[in-house]
Amino acid sequence: MAELIIEGGRRLSGRVAVEGNKNAALPLLAACLLTSDTCELRNVPPIRDVAVMLDLLRSLGAEVEHVDRSTLRITCRDIRASEPDPRLVGRLRGSVLLLGALLGRTGRAMIAAPGGDFAARRSITVHLRALQKMGAVLVDRPSGHCLEAPDGLRGASMYLLEASVTGTETALLAAAQARGTTEIRNAACEPHVAELCVFLQSMGARVEGIGTSTIRIEPPARLGGAVHTLRGDYIEAASWAVVGAVTGGDVEVTGVYAEDLEPIAAVLAEMRLEFELEDQRFAVGPSTLVGARRITTGLWPGFPSDIVSLVTVLATQASGQTLVHDWLYELRLFALEQLSAMRADLFLCDPHRIIVSGPTRLRGRLLDSRDIRSGMALIAAALAADGQSTLTEVETVERGYGDLVERLRSLGAEVERRED
């Protein structure tokens, strides 16, 4: 394991170019299993989660070629197995996406309990119900999940009990090789779900309702290879913007669409953050921040839970109170209790709500990274704090942010990565 040593109190400035959306990369990689032709993905983020997914594909028989730093060619000509490496599955929540892809390609899929952030609290019931609607049968196993569809999957009409992003993506991946048309209602509408739909279209599927809560997909007789360039990661873009804002700096983020950032930018505007937003450019400058009174997460296009931790840190530097309400996850806010030891004025009401009063001058301390987003938020807090902080298990943050140390240094941060 490695730790990140952070010297706080420095105003950051400079430019950061975001890479492809992590949450789009994983389902697109899983989609490559649906065809024996070669698929080419461009602007793929070189992060740990992507590396694990590539190892999972290799364990199933895929050939992976790195054309350059962010371009991959993947050929799944022969799929030798229907059970991904359990050790790798335990490291990646996104491995659940292989269920739908493998069922569609091989008629069988067995997967261990997916890992990643908050693994014990994230159910895959939505995924399993969607696959059963298409004719998959659950097979009893001592552990993990096993499904079979010996006669192939068939198109179905279904309503998802939860607008789950990965649940919707699992249903889409399976439906792309089912017989007949599938209609998915109460589907997730996030940009990365729409991006998967566009990729499946490029492979030959007919997809209607992209970006809406009702998606219809009609598969072709055979899916072919496709070339796709990933959209910029709007969560990463917002993260770097907050890192700049919390230190009172000037940071310009490039490579992301304004419409993807709109739900986040609307909240930042309520906090009176000075910024400019246009396609491919998001620039923040020194601001006199105020509390936003209440920030509530929501299904897209609501405020995304993935940015809750970072905006909570930003609220510690804002005048007045901010109530942050994340009703999606129980554990995300618990990681931020560490801010209290940095002299932040916090009151954790319950697992879903936290009240932040500011502004407060933070001080450095030992911090531990429990998930990707709260880890990045704690780095932001440490950069704004007086003195030195040490963040343990920085690999957790590197799962979602490529070249983390180099990019922090490019903005003027004084950081050092040390192996523990």
Give the Cα separation of 6 and 390 in Å (integer): 6
For residue 100, the tally of other CB atoms under 10 A from its CB is 34
**Strand, coil or helix: what is 124?**
coil
Q: Are 187 and 334 part of one and the same domain?
A: no
| Nearest of 70, 22, 410, 394 to residue 253 by alpha carbon | 410
Q: How far is CA 391 from CA 3, 182, 236, 370, 381, in A?
A: 5, 46, 19, 10, 11
User: Looking at 12-21, 110-119, 226-235, 249-258, which range is the least confident one?
Assistant: 110-119
For residue 416, the tally of other CB atoms under 10 A from its CB is 12
| Tokens encoding 46 | 């070189």
- ∠ CA 331-332-334, nearest 5°, is 70
Q: What is the DSSP letter of 20?
A: B
Q: What is the pLDDT of residue 144?
A: 86
Q: What is the pLDDT of residue 334?
A: 84
Looking at every residue in the chain, the average pLDDT score rounds to: 95
**What mean pLDDT do residues 65-77 have?**
97
**What mean pLDDT do residues 286-310 have?**
96
**What mean pLDDT do residues 41-46 have?**
97
Q: How far is CA 133 from CA 116, 138, 158, 332, in A?
A: 27, 11, 7, 32
Q: What is the pLDDT of residue 114?
A: 85
1 CB-near residues (< 8 Å, 6+ apart): 392, 393, 395, 419, 420
Q: Would you say residue 245 has pLDDT above 90?
A: yes
Q: Are 195 and 55 part of one and the same domain?
A: yes
pLDDT digits (tens, 9 = 90+) for 131-163: 999 999 999 887 789 999 988 999 999 999 999
Residues involved in catalysis: 117
Q: What is the pLDDT of residue 122?
A: 62
DSSP string, 298-363: -STTSB-GGGHHHHHHHHTTSBEEEEEE--S-SSGGGGGGGGGGGT-EEEEEETTEEEEEE----B
126 CB-near residues (< 8 Å, 6+ apart): 160, 161, 162, 164, 167, 170
In the structure, what pLDDT confidence band is assigned to residue 420 with cuts at 50, 70 and 90?
confident
Q: How many domains does the chain have?
A: 2
Q: What is the pLDDT of residue 396?
A: 95
Q: What is the pLDDT of residue 119?
A: 41
Q: Are 7 and 87 part of one and the same domain?
A: no
**Strand, coil or helix: what is 219?**
coil
Residue that is last in its domain, among 229, 245, 275:
229
pLDDT digits (tens, 9 = 90+) for 326-385: 988 777 788 888 999 999 999 999 989 999 999 999 999 999 988 999 999 999 999 999
Q: How large is the greatest C-alpha to C-alpha distance in the chain, in angstroms? A: 63
Q: Are 42 and 14 part of one and the same domain?
A: no
In the structure, what pLDDT confidence band is assigned to residue 121 with cuts at 50, 70 and 90?
low
Q: Are 57 and 6 part of one and the same domain?
A: no
Strands 206-208 and 214-218: antiparallel
**Strand, coil or helix: what is 261?**
helix
For residue 340, the tally of other CB atoms under 10 A from its CB is 12
Q: What is the DSSP letter of 276?
A: E
Give percent of the chain with pLDDT exceeding 70.
Answer: 98
Q: Are 273 and 364 part of one and the same domain?
A: yes
Residue that is last in its domain, among 229, 264, 294:
229
CATH (domain of 52): 3.65.10.10
Q: Are 282 and 407 part of one and the same domain?
A: yes
Q: Are 224 and 237 part of one and the same domain?
A: no
Give the Cα separation of 84 and 99 in Å (integer): 10
Residue that is last in its domain, among 229, 255, 290:
229
Q: Are 241 and 298 part of one and the same domain?
A: yes
Q: Are 330 and 404 part of one and the same domain?
A: yes
Q: Are 198 and 237 part of one and the same domain?
A: no
Q: Are 382 and 270 part of one and the same domain?
A: yes
Boundaries of domain holding 411: 2-18+232-419
Q: Would you say residue 271 has pLDDT above 50?
A: yes
